Amino acid sequence: MSLLGSGALGRVVRSGVGRRRVQTTVIAVACMMAVAAAVIAGSLIVATNAPFDHAFAKQHGAHITAQFDPARVSTAALKETGRLDGVTASAGPYPTTTFNELTLVGRSGPHSDVDDLDLRAGRWAKKAGEIVLSASFLNSPLKIGSVMKASGDADSPGLTVVGFALSSARTADAWATPGQVRALASKDSPVTSQMLYRFKSASSKGQIAADRKLLSAAVPSGSLLATQSYLDTKHSADRGAAATIPFLVAFGVLGIVMSVIIVSSVISGAVGTGLRRIGILKAIGFTPREVVRAYVAQALIPAVAGIALGVVLGNVLAVPLLADTAQVYGGVSLSVTWWVDVVVPAVALLIVTVAALVPALRAGRLRTVEAIAVGRAPRTGRGQWAHRTAGRLPLPRAVTYGLASPFTHPVRTAAMLLAVAFGTVAATFAVGLTSSLNAVGSAQDPQDRADVTVVSGGAVQNRGPLSPGAARRAPSVDPAKVGAAVKAQSGTASYYGMTRTDVTVAGISGSVEATLYQGDSRSGSYEMISGHWITGAGQVVVPTRFLERTGTRIGDTVRVTLGKDTESLRIVGEAFDTDNDGLSVHADMAGFAGARPQVFQIQVKPGVSPADYAAKLAAVVRPLGADVLADEGSQQDGMILVLDSIAVLLTLMLVSVAGLGVLNSVVLDTRERVHDLGVCKALGMSPRQTVSLVLSSVAGIGVLGGLIGVPLGFALHGYVLPVMGHAAGTGLPPSVLDVYDAPELVLLGLAGIAIALLGALLPSGWAARARTATALRTE
């Protein structure tokens, strides 16, 4: 009741809200859209702010994942390590082996004091023949019910996928029952014992090193085989999440700015068109303070309703986006954080109050006589030069009259122009962003471009399984014979061999993943940020992170060691490669005598079916111990799909708000000129000409808004994308940055006209339907 006021003031407020139904609706809807967009952006910023920390804390993640040799240390001794000074919790030992090149851990259930797994889909493995995969494979071809085999032999054991689980610390690639793990063990893949530990102090690499030393001293020498620190996983996860924040902030700022523009425009228009009413209110005894309160309240009533609806809408729309984000990062709440639902509406209400207060204060300062006089007789002379100039154009009179109309109310026109420009900025930025994100998805795994893949055996063939049973361990395979069979196969257009292995690089502690190529690998090259792809021996291509870590640049030489071979390789290119935290190298296989191709990537000739080609080639290479896979289509990265969805949703909201701003301004203009429209109708103006007049009054604003908005959206894209890349620890190639072309920019410029015309469509129809006599009687 305090907002509405009491007595005469309350009646004035209610009358103003009910009489200006269009403005009331515009304020409510604009606030609803802006708040919904802010709630979505805010909730996702919270979700992507240190997602690893949230998931890790929720799951009581392992600070150290340790592998022990069960032949050297007993189960009882391993359990005793959980009671060491400094260890706060432990779990295990769990039997561990390698299956289909995945780290397979035997656990009877997902829950534990350490690494309490989150079962994302399906159920847990309860018996032999079942396997649960890491949630990172949810977007892969592997589905619940898929069967994974250890080799291509008909009698090879197979495991059926029954679920997907998330381990924030990435303690395993897959899980099965302990008995199943022991049954799968072999000479090549023996069973080890996995222990998971949490420590009092584990926040730095130095503390982790001390904790590892503590474990090593507590067991017999040589029994601790390997350890994995959660800090490495955390670093990689945080880099990926940080890249989304600049994008969300950009849309959030656009939404806030547009809401301020729309609300200010609506209230300013209400004051401008209600001068006579303001004068009358003062004449009957209203004080300046009461006038200000009346006009602020007329804005706050629909704004409060719109803000409340916006919070509800934002929560509803955020749930599926949060679900997608949780699938990517894990540990994300599927409901909007409570303080986002408090802070966003509070800030929105403050912004609306300030936006409404400025024009309301103007109304309060108006002198009574001046307000009544101006309200009865609109200012003359304003915009006459525009009408004279437009009248000389070889266009219909209705069109020239409409083109000159915006100059009558420059402030209102400026607000409309800003709304159209910001709507065009949002559309331009969103189109560029989605194009860039899709380019990132296409560039991440260049091996997906191959029509057919031949797996000839060895170590891990791909960063994730190619398909059920794709990666084999077949040391007897002769890659030379497999390559000869590929070359001889009818339909082969081109092919190259590749292998992945760990190498050491001077200046970097620990191992670095190397991808070595045999033959012309240009068809599988990474997108280049600078320099060029490898063209022969003695060259190496590296990611941005590698250059930063080693302090090198293109043209410098690095020493790479594989086994007993050490080669000095010259850096010839910087590749867009974010895997392994950007610490990897790409080089020619010829410089390393011990390297053999494990995979052959094949392009088939035009008109040749990859599936038919793969079937024919399989009959030749399977007897050699290799396997063939036809391209199943690359899977789009989960986070890219989430960001695409967010960009489309927020853009539609912002463009809708821009259209509402145009609608409000045109309604005000049309109502002010209703008497003039009546005169024009009496002189013979048809309804079609009336529509042309109203639409042409915003056409120029749409053109100018497009001319302003497109360059600003282009510039915003050029600023935000490199910031996102830097947050992810990589530079960006031209294919990701240069995504606009001239025809597309022209079409985006036309978006400004489309926003303006769509916003003016309803008022133009109302003006065309208005009866001449009614219009002439209206003032």
179-211 pLDDT, tens digit each: 999 888 877 778 899 999 999 988 888 888 888
Region of poorest pLDDT, from 205-209, 271-275, 758-762: 271-275
For 555, the domain range is 446-630
Mean of all residue pLDDT scores within the chain: 77
Does residue 385 share a domain with residue 372?
no
Does residue 501 share a domain with residue 601?
yes
Does residue 428 share a domain with residue 504?
no
CA distance 63 to 229: 6
CB atoms within 10 A of CB 740: 19
pLDDT of residue 396: 76
Does residue 391 share a domain with residue 303?
no
pLDDT of residue 88: 92
Does residue 668 share a domain with residue 726?
yes
Final residue of a domain: which of 377, 397, 422? 377
pLDDT of residue 464: 37
Does residue 761 share a domain with residue 652?
yes
Asked if residue 727 lies in contact with residue 246, where contact means CB atoms within 8 angstroms, the answer is: yes
Does residue 499 share a domain with residue 593?
yes
Asked if residue 101 lies in contact with residue 460, where contact means CB atoms within 8 angstroms, the answer is: yes
CA distance 450 to 762: 53
Strands (E), 200-300: 224-229
Nearest 5°: CA angle at 234, between 109 and 326?
60
User: Mean pLDDT over residues 84-102, rounded?
Assistant: 87
pLDDT of residue 365: 73
**Does residue 148 form part of some domain?**
yes
Final residue of a domain: which of 585, 607, 630? 630
Total tally of structural domains belonging to the chain? 4
3-state secondary structure of 141: coil
| Tens digits of residue pLDDT in 147-187 | 887 655 556 677 899 999 888 888 888 999 999 998 888 77
- Would the pLDDT of 431 be above 80? yes
**Does residue 674 form part of some domain?**
yes
pLDDT of residue 473: 39
Final residue of a domain: which of 164, 198, 222? 222
Q: Band of the pLDDT at 107, cuts 50, 70, 90?
A: very high
- Would the pLDDT of 602 be above 80? yes
**Does residue 528 form part of some domain?**
yes
Percent of the chain with pLDDT over 70: 73
Q: Does residue 72 or residue 632 have the better pLDDT?
A: 72
Does residue 596 share a domain with residue 457?
yes
Does residue 18 share a domain with residue 117?
no
pLDDT of residue 468: 32
Does residue 77 share a domain with residue 177?
yes
Does residue 325 share a domain with residue 296?
yes
Asked if residue 64 lies in contact with residue 214, where contact means CB atoms within 8 angstroms, the answer is: no
**Does residue 699 form part of some domain?**
yes
DSSP H helical ranges for 392-524 = 397-404, 410-444, 479-488
Q: Does residue 744 or residue 365 have the better pLDDT?
A: 744
**Does residue 238 form part of some domain?**
no
Does residue 623 share a domain with residue 565?
yes
In the chain, the amino acid numbered 527 is E
**Does residue 614 form part of some domain?**
yes
- Would the pLDDT of 775 be above 60? no
| Tens digits of residue pLDDT in 645-660 | 777 777 777 777 777 7
Provide the token pair at 5: 């006021």
**Does residue 439 form part of some domain?**
yes
Asked if residue 118 lies in contact with residue 166, where contact means CB atoms within 8 angstroms, the answer is: yes
Q: Band of the pLDDT at 622, cuts 50, 70, 90?
A: confident
Q: Band of the pLDDT at 326, cuts 50, 70, 90?
A: low
Q: Is 712 exposed, middle or buried (0-12, 13-18, 19+ CB in 10 A)?
A: middle
pLDDT of residue 226: 83
**Does residue 243 form part of some domain?**
no
